Amino acid sequence: MLLSAVGVAAVCLLPAGGTSPVTVAGALGTVDVDALEPAPLRAGARVAVPAPVEPVTLPRSAPVRVTIPELRVSSRVMELGFDEDGSMEVPPGAYPAGWFDRSPTPGELGPAVLAGHVDWDGEPGVFRGLHRLRPGDLVLVDRADGSTATFAVDRVARYAKDEFPAGSVYGDIDEAGLRLITCGGDFDPDADSYRDNVVVYASLVA
């Protein structure tokens, strides 16, 4: 039913198949009753389904430098493997940062892992300020192929070392991610190490 009213204070609409009028106060112009409710889906009609969006990733290329503008940190990156006890190696000094070479390279699909010290032999370490990062802060990783992978921080977490969440740090993810790891919490003189780990979770944005 198509009704028109020009300069009329009220219009009564009688829906198709109904018996009670619907009053639209102060209506002017044309009102299409069919537009008041969505049209029913006809048998055999096709519904467009958006194609899945592929995550943005980069080809494999080893990291050579990491820069964290918010912390005024810029360091070359060395490769880290496994220690004799099967744990991840750590850099031999306050600098540089290290990339765990069993993880994806920064920008590849999955979690790339960089580790660095909070301090070393009384000297501030490359990752001493990780706990101060906030969501949205950027981390830039220069790669051997000349490209730069830019990550935005998602969150920062601190864990007791005996409760370290290896699954969420090293486990598979459906995007190009970055994990920055250092020590945190109180220093344990008996163990000659810090009690906690600080982990920064970040995602590739450019």
**How does pLDDT run across 73-109, given as a tens digit for each residue?**
999 999 999 998 888 999 999 999 999 999 999 999 9
Summarize the confidence of residues 54-78 as an average pLDDT.
95
DSSP 8-state class, residue 88: B
How many CA within 13 A on the CB side of residue 30?
A: 5
| More reliable by pLDDT, 149 or 49 | 149
| More reliable by pLDDT, 205 or 84 | 205
Residue 49: band (very low, low, confident or very high) from pLDDT cuts 50, 70, 90 = low
Report whether pLDDT(189) > 50.
yes
Question: What span, in angstroms and rounded, lies between the C-alpha atoms of 124 and 118?
Answer: 6
Q: Is the overall model pTM greater than 0.85, yes or no?
A: no
Q: What are the φ/ψ torsions at residue 182 (nearest 5 degrees)? A: -150, -175
34-48, 62-76, 136-150, range with the lowest pLDDT: 34-48
**Residues contacting residue 192 through CB under 8 Å, at least 6 positions apart:** none
Q: Where are the domains of the chain?
A: 2-36, 63-204
Structure tokens at 194: 């810090």
| More reliable by pLDDT, 112 or 56 | 112
Predicted local distance difference test score (pLDDT) of residue 116: 98
Predicted local distance difference test score (pLDDT) of residue 20: 44
Report whether pLDDT(41) > 80.
no
Does CATH number 3.30.1540.10 belong to domain 63-204?
no
Region class of 44: left (phi > 0), else alpha (psi between -120 and 50), else beta: left
